Amino acid sequence: MSTRIALVFAGQVPVGEKVTIEGWIRTRRDSKAGLSFLAVSDGSCFDPLQVVAPQELTNYATDVVRLTAGCSVRCIGELVASQGKGQTVELRADTVEVVGWVDDPDTYPMQPKRHTMEYLREVAHLRPRTNVIGAVTRVRHTLAQAVHRFFDQQGFFWVHTPIVTASDAEGAGQMFRVSTLDLENLPRTPAGRVDFDKDFFGKEAHLTVSGQLNVETYCMALSRVYTFGPTFRAENSNTRRHLAEFWMIEPELAFADLAADAQLAEDFLKFIFKTLLDERKDDMQFFEKHVDKDCITRLTAMIDSKFERMDYTDAIATLVASNKKFEFPVSWGIDLQSEHEKFLTEEVVKGPVAVVNYPKDIKAFYMRMNDDEKTVAAMDILAPGIGEIIGGSQREERLDMLDRRITQMGLHAGDYNWYRDLRRYGTVPHAGFGLGFERAILYATGIENIRDVIPFPRAPRQAEF
RNA sequence: UCCGAAGUAGCUCAGUGGUAGAGCAGGCGGCUGUUAACCGCCGGGUCGCAGGUUCGAUCCCUGCCUUCGGAGCCA
């Protein structure tokens, strides 16, 4: 059984102990003193372990000096204090077994040098071997663990909402169709339409764009629930902040209003980022040094800050009073554009801000109508450097109001019968929010393109690997 | 989808209307308890694809493809 390199650096392996490590060669440096230095990484932590391979090894001339980046090895030897600078301990190898060679090292795509992120996307099956993608992967894992830990500690239950949804109306975004019909030979109704009664589910089905409506049903029984899973949008978005497949976190809180929702969001963000800083120091230091020098101070500032609250109406007044020239003119009733959000969070508040109570006409049907009948209890949390990071709302718990909103939006109440039932049987005020998981990773690491924080990005015309 | 930019060696890039170079990587040799080391030599390219202009195009023009940045949509 081999030892993970992370345990070695964590001091859990005493100097003098014989260990086996297994991993991949990052670099090899030969010394005429009669030994080679192998940087071996197993991905368990940021740093590779230095393995010292003396020329006395029986396969030194045949194997060790032929090692190149990417070769897999099993090294057995004694952990010793390093004689060189740059590391405190190293492995003095008794054996270096080559598990797998690299065919044609000349064209091995992952060289021990800096690659562009664009290039790495083209070799998505090999890019986890790089420092940056390895670090992203560990950060992503730690944040995901922190998400679950936060909700667990707060008494929330993780509800696995469906990926495939046959609801007639999700109400948000364009959806990917799920069908087993033969596209070359579609069944038709007498009226000439595609006959989805012949399809697998007997009706139209799609990939989910949000688990919210489903999770609300469990909220009306278990009080505190959340979803955390993949969601899909078939929109032709080509930006560094959008994916066709991304992971979303959506908590739902019963007996709660918008203020409680905003507080939950604030506590949540602070918890997951604090956990990240506590548990992934090595990787975060790499991001600070090579990707975004402000990433750690940005997270620290957020953790220590008190999120501001700002009414939408006040936000509009602030934007107008700034006399700043915006590409999109500002007036009450508009949806805030990227430039407006950035201005508010980066120049006015200079920190995270929850903007609340948006005009009803620019928000979804399920958001709770405020007493003014002009605004709904919606919120967006804006953060410097990224803009909107969380969107949420108090849900409309009054059936008559919900029905009125459904009608106003040109939707059909009949399509939402199970959702309406929640308002007929023991309805309660409740609220929730949605967080795009990859956006949180962008914010934490300073990585610029969302395609670099998910292992296999899905975007328009991009579904390789 | 709209606006802008870019596609030259395995990678990162320079360059020219007369078919091309550097650094890194790779191979060989030298040197060193080395730190993405250093020194020397060597191999390696349909200059994104398709047309057009021209005696001649990698360079100029047109179209297409791909990628990047911004916007919209949104998380």
State the nucleotide closest to A290 in CA–C1' terms: B36
Residue A80's pLDDT is what? 93
Residue A148 C-alpha from the chain's centroid? 13
pLDDT band, very low/low/confident/very high, at A206 (cuts 50, 70, 90): very high
Closest CA to A110 of A144, A69, A74: A69
How many CA atoms does the CB half-sphere of A329 hold within 13 Å?
Answer: 1
Give the nucleotide at minimum CA-to-C1' distance from A448: B69
Distance in Å from B1's C1' to A172's CA comes to 19
Average pLDDT over residues A272-281: 97
List C-alpha distances in Å: A41 to A99, A121, A273: 14, 21, 26
How many CB atoms are closer than 10 A to CB A14?
Answer: 8
Q: Does the pTM exceed 0.90?
A: yes
Q: Count how many Cα atoms sit within 13 Å of the Cα of residue A126 in the half-sphere of its side chain.
A: 16
Q: Which of the two residues, A167 and A90, has the higher pLDDT score?
A: A90
Q: Which nucleotides of B are covered by protein (CB under 7 A)?
A: 1-2, 10-13, 24-27, 31-37, 43, 66-75
A429: pLDDT strictly greater than 90:
yes
Sign, CA dihedral A394-A398-A404-A406, equals: positive
Average confidence (pLDDT) over A19-31? 91
Q: Are A69 and A108 in contact (CB under 8 A)?
A: yes
Nearest to A265 by CA among A389, A92, A119: A389
Q: How confident is the model at residue A169 (pLDDT cuts 50, 70, 90)?
A: low
Nucleotide with C1' nearest the A28 CA: B34
Q: How far apart are CA A135 and CA A146, in angstroms?
A: 16
Helix (H) or strand (E) holding A152: helix A131-153
CA→C1' distance for A122 and B60 (Å): 32
Give pLDDT tens digits for A378-426.
999 998 877 889 999 999 999 999 999 999 888 888 889 999 999 999 9
| Token code pair at residue A442 | 């962008």
Taking the C-alpha atoms of residue A85 and residue A174, their distance in angstroms, rounded to an integer, is: 56
State the nucleotide closest to A107 in CA–C1' terms.
Answer: B10
Give the pLDDT score at A171.
Answer: 58
The whole-number Å distance from A453's CA to B59's C1' is 38
Q: Residue A400: its pLDDT value, please?
A: 96
What strands lie across the sheet with A177-178, from one edge to the other?
A164-165, A205-207, A177-178
Beta bridge partners of A276: none
Q: Would the pLDDT of A320 be above 80? A: yes
Question: What's the mean pLDDT in A98-102?
Answer: 90
pLDDT: is A213 or A112 the higher one? A213
Could you read off the pLDDT of A123-162 as tens digits, one per residue? Answer: 999 999 999 999 999 999 999 999 999 999 999 999 999 9
Q: How far apart are CA A201 and CA A381, in angstroms?
A: 38
**CA at A29, C1' at B38: how many angstroms apart?**
12
CA pair distance A264, A433, nearest whole angstrom: 9
User: Quick one: pLDDT band at residue A346, thresholds 50, 70, 90?
Assistant: confident
Checking ipTM against 0.95, whether it exceeds it is no
Is residue A168 scored above 70 in pLDDT? no
**Which residue's CA lies closest to nucleotide B43 at its C1' atom?**
A106
Between CA A457 and CA A463, with CA A460 as vertex, the angle to 5 degrees is 45
pLDDT of residue A303: 94
Mean pLDDT in residue range A45-51? 93
pLDDT of residue A246: 96
In whole angstroms, B5 C1' to A353 CA is 34
Average pLDDT, integer, range A52-70: 89
Mean pLDDT, to the nearest integer, of A238-265? 95
Residue nearest to nucleotide B30 (CA to C1'): A32
Q: For residues A221 and A421, what is the distance between their CA atoms, to the nearest angstrom? A: 13
Mean pLDDT of all residues in chain A? 92
- Residue A132 CB neighbour total at 10 angstroms: 21
Nucleotide in closest CA–C1' contact with A132: B36
A115/B23 CA-to-C1' distance in Å: 14
Under the banding of pLDDT at 50, 70 and 90, the label for residue A170 is: low
- What does the buried/exposed string (b/e) look like for A340-354 if buried means 16 or more CB atoms within 10 Å of the residue's CB? bbbbbbeeebebbbb
Among residues A457, A464, A460, the alpha carbon closest in space to that of A247 is found at A457
Top mean pLDDT of A96-110, A259-273, A314-328, A403-417 is at A259-273
Percent of chain A with pLDDT over 90: 75
- Across the range A324-344, mean pLDDT stands at 89
Which nucleotide's C1' is closest to A66 (Cα)? B27
Task: Encode pLDDT of A181-194 as tens digits.
Answer: 998 899 999 999 99
Q: What is the pLDDT of residue A384?
A: 81
pLDDT of residue A33: 78
Q: Decide which of A3 and A324 is more confident.
A: A3
Tokens encoding A147: 């998400």
On whether the CB atoms of residues A247 and A210 are closer than 8 A, the answer is no
- Classify each residue of A81-117 as buried b or exposed e, where b means 16 or more C-beta atoms within 10 Å of its C-beta: eeeeeeeeebbbbeebebeeebeeeeebebeeeebeb
CB atoms within 10 A of CB A165: 22
Q: Which residue has the higher pLDDT, A386 or A116?
A: A116
